Amino acid sequence: MSWQLAGNTLNSRFLIGSSLYPSPHIMQQSIAASGAQVVTVSLRRQSPGLKGGDSFWQHIKSLNCHILPNTAGCYSAKDAIHTAIMAREVFNTHWIKLEVLGDEYNLQPDPFALLEATKELIAQGFEVFPYSTDDLVLAERLVSAGCNIVMPWGAPIGTGRGLINPYALKTLRARLPDTTLIVDAGLGAPSHAVQAMELGFDGVLLNTAVAEAQNPILMAQAFRDGIAAGRSGFEAGVIQQRDLAKPSTPVLGTPFWHQDKDDRGG
């Protein structure tokens, strides 16, 4: 079922990264297999004479996806703003995945610098996709600053730990019902993506879990299917958990059933 992301109608709720694949060819095949229509990229200085960037860009362009440039590696609002402005010119898009990191160990976003950069970039006409923690107040401030989208982490980048704080993510969903929420980073298994989608998140963005899988193309398909299944589950309405077992098969009319015995269904 289609959905809206920053004014674009998409069929896939999978946003995928373009890094860490064993080869450009496998990257291209994996992204195609994922069904993703949004691909994240970065801007980097490269050694003079190397043409790797050109080749990479040709591979990405041939996929006909929406391009979501990032500000990965920035540790200050100033650097992130600078990078975003350059990315806008190179990729010809006002979309920016805004990363402003605050800690080198867990690559945790710096909430203060993130908010500062968000305000400036929105003032300059960007559609900001902020990579944030699962902090509710930060998310609310980002929305107040003009973000239509917030991308809380499932876990720190590249850890593959899944949703380390489902309560916080569930709270974000409940408190920001009109904001597009995308779980970004930290997922390892397709089941993590299913869980995120069942919580009602609008999409999932990941990279390492696919790129570093033993078979990235197959894993891309697995995440594609997991994301779709999780979304369907959310839309269908998951039943409430309960402690008391309840038979699913009708007890009345069971062969050899007698009125004076307890109901023991299964």
Q: Cα(55)–Cα(25) distance, rounded to whole angstroms?
A: 11
Using CB under 8 A, pick the residue from 2, 7, 64, 89 that binds another protein. 89
51 touches another protein by CB under 8 A: yes
C-beta separation of 102 from 110 below 8 A: yes
247 touches another protein by CB under 8 A: no
61 in catalytic set: no
30 touches another protein by CB under 8 A: no
Q: CB-based contacts of 96: which residues, under 8 Å, 6+ apart?
A: 68, 69, 70, 71, 84, 87, 88, 121, 126, 127, 128, 129
123 touches another protein by CB under 8 A: no
Q: Which stretch binds another protein (CB under 8 A): 16-24, 112-120, 188-196, 227-235?
A: 16-24
In degrees and rounded to multiples of 5, residue 206 shows phi and psi of -155, 165
In this structure, what token pair is assigned to residue 62? 């041939």
72 touches another protein by CB under 8 A: yes
- DSSP class of residue 183 equals E
CB of 164 to another protein, least distance (A): 18
Q: Which of 51, 97, 119, 246 is catalytic?
A: 97
Q: Cα(247)–Cα(262) distance, rounded to whole angstroms?
A: 12
Q: Find tokens 């033993």 and name the residue.
A: 214
Minimum CB distance to another protein smaller for 83 or for 195: 83
Give catalytic residue positions.
97
Residues found near another protein in the complex (CB under 8 A):
17-21, 27, 40-49, 51-54, 56-57, 60, 69-70, 72, 82, 85-87, 89-91, 157, 185, 206-208
Going by the annotation, the residues of the binding site are: 158, 185-186, 207-208
